[in-house]
Amino acid sequence: MTTRVPPVPPHSPGRPAPDARGSTCRVAAYPRYSRLGASSRLRWLQFVPALQREGLVIESSPLLGDTYLQRKYAGRPVLGQVLRAYLDRARALRAGARGADLVWIEKELWPWAPAWLELWLLAGRPFVLDYDDAVFHTYDRHRNPLLRRLFGRKIDRLMRAATLVVVGSAYLGERARAAGARRVEWLPTVVDHERYATGARARPDDATLHIGWIGTPATVGYLRPLAAALAELARRRRIVVHLIGATLAMPGVEVRAIPWSEDDEVRAIAGLDVGLMPLPDTPWERGKCGYKLVQYMACGLPVVASPVGANRDIVDDGVDGFLAHGDDAWIDALSRLADDPALRHRMGQAGQAKVRARYSLQAAAPQLARWLRESCGRP
C-alpha cells in the first residue's frame, strides 16, 4: 500500500522557504510498518510533515500494516499476510521508486530476501538505510549454519552499497563503518518535544512510588530479571508498577496493566514517578536506541536503566537518572528516588532539558532533511 502524504505548507512561519533545488528532491520511502509499528512511526513517519516543510516530496509504502501487528501480538497466524505484503512491496517499488530521486529504506526491503535481489531491484538508485536495531544479528547469529552462510553478511552488503546509513546508536554505527558504508550519521530516536511538554503531570497525590515501563508484548520479557528486585522493594515500601502496552505477573508486586495508544501514552507516562529500562548485555540489546528513556525524560521523570548500549549515552548517571547493574543496584537506585522527591524533581528537570536539546523532533528533523537533500545531490 502506497501512502501519498497530505500536502504541507512549503515552510513554517519564521523559517525561510527551501530553495528550488531542495524543493525538487523526491523520496520514495519504504518503512517496515504502518503507524502502529513503533520503529516506523518513530524513525520515519513522525518526521514526514517536517521533511515536507523543508521542501522534500515524499511517498511512503509500508511493508506490513496494522492488521499484521494486531494479529501477531494476539498470537494469530500471519504467514499469508506476509506473503501478500512481499508481493505488494515489489509492485510498490516498481511504481514508486522509478520517479524518485532517492529511496529511503527501514532496515531492508524484505526480511530474508538476499542482498543481491534488493540491490538489483533498486537498479542503481541512490538509497538511504535507517537502523534502530541490530537486525544484522538476526542473520549472522542465527543458530542455523546454512542461514548464517546465506544471509550473515546481507545487511553489510546493503550498508556498503547505500548512499547514506542512518543509525540510532553507536553500536549500529560501528557495524556500518566496519561494513564499508560510505557515509554514516547518528540520528537518535526522538520525541515530539512540544507534544510531551504539554502533557501535564498527573501522578496521584499519595506516598506510593509509581514505577513505570512502556513497551509491547514482544519486549515485556526484559522485566522478568527485575521481578525479584521489585518484589524486595515492595516489601520495604509502597510501590505500584505500571506496565504500558503489556502485562506481566510479578509475585509480591502490585502491577497495573495500561493499554497503549498513541493518543494516551504521554498522559500514562506523566502519571509515573520513575521510568525503567532494564536490558540484558547481549549483542542484540547493545544495538537498541533507548527510546523508552527519552520518553520518560521528556515527561520529566528520572530514570533507572541497565548500563547497556545507548542507555549509557542517554543517562548521565546521578544527574538525570541512575545506571544499575544487579538487584542491589536497582533496589538502591529506586529506594533513593522513593525517599527523595526533590531528587526526583531535579533529575526529571535535567532529563527534560536534555531531551529538548538533543532528543527532540524539533532538533533532529532539520538534520535529517539536510542529509536527505545531500543524498539526492541537492545540498
The pLDDT tens digits for 7-43 are: 333 333 333 344 444 457 999 999 999 998 999 999 9
Q: Which fold has domain 193-358?
A: Rossmann fold (3.40.50)
Q: Which fold has domain 3-190+360-376?
A: Rossmann fold (3.40.50)
Q: List the domain boundaries for the chain.
A: 3-190+360-376, 193-358
Same fold, 3-190+360-376 and 193-358: yes
pLDDT tens, 320-377? 999 999 999 999 999 999 999 999 999 999 999 999 999 999 999 999 999 999 999 9
308 by DSSP, 3-state: which?
A: coil
| pLDDT recorded at residue 339 | 94
- Residue 317 is classified by DSSP as B
| pLDDT recorded at residue 16 | 36
Percent of the chain with pLDDT over 70: 92
Percent of the chain with pLDDT over 90: 82
- What average pLDDT does this structure show over 302-309? 98
Q: Which residue has the cell 520515519?
A: 44
Identify the band that residue 204 occupies on the pLDDT scale cut at 50, 70 and 90. Answer: low
Please return the burial class of 16, using the count of CB atoms within 10 Å of its CB with bins 0-12, 13-18 and 19+: exposed
Residue 36 cell numbers, joined: 502502529
Identify the band that residue 201 occupies on the pLDDT scale cut at 50, 70 and 90. Answer: low
Query: Which of 244, 250, 223 minimizes the C-alpha distance to 330?
Result: 223
- What average pLDDT does this structure show over 134-159? 98
- What average pLDDT does this structure show over 267-291? 96
pLDDT tens, 157-183? 999 999 999 999 999 999 999 999 999
Prediction pTM value? 0.88
- What average pLDDT does this structure show over 104-120? 97
| pLDDT recorded at residue 200 | 52
Query: Which of 143, 264, 268 minimizes the C-alpha distance to 203?
Result: 268
